[in-house]
Amino acid sequence: MMDPLKNVVVIGDRVLIKPLEASNKTDSGLFLPPSVKERNAVHTGIVMRVGPGYPVPVTQDPDAMFREDGGNQVNYVPLQVHEGDEALYLHANGTELEINGEQYVIVGQNAILLVMRNEIPDSVDGL
């Protein structure tokens, strides 16, 4: 199966999320119109793509930007979220878009409140 997001490159600290379908029924059995669901502040979705992270300069040489050879090099501090994570995010901070007929939301990592991940790194187990 061809990846519909094959040509999608996310920039900086942004994250592309596939929203999970929200239920239109409350726990008590009330049905909610779509306009009420859309105004909810927090949504969930699956992280599909992540940007490279926060840019930081490679060199500490203050004259590097004036030389032709390498004032444009950049390293990145990677993001905490990973593709496949289920994210709880602030919907108001996102931009909705459609790619190949599918709905997505792009948010900055700072709009993600938490992620649920199947595999937890060993460094977190002791906390």
48-69 residue pLDDT tens: 999 999 988 776 666 666 666 5
Average pLDDT, the chain: 80
Given phi > 0 = left and psi -120 to 50 = alpha, else beta, which region is 66?
alpha
What is the rounded CA–CA span in Å between residue 32 and residue 22?
10
Stretches in the chain below the pLDDT threshold 70 = 1, 22-40, 59-72, 120-127
Q: Does residue 63 contact residue 70 with C-beta atoms inside 8 Å?
A: no
CATH architecture under which domain 14-125 falls:
Roll (2.30)
**Domain residue limits, the chain:** 14-125
Placement of tokens 């937890």 in the chain: 120
Amino acid at 100: N
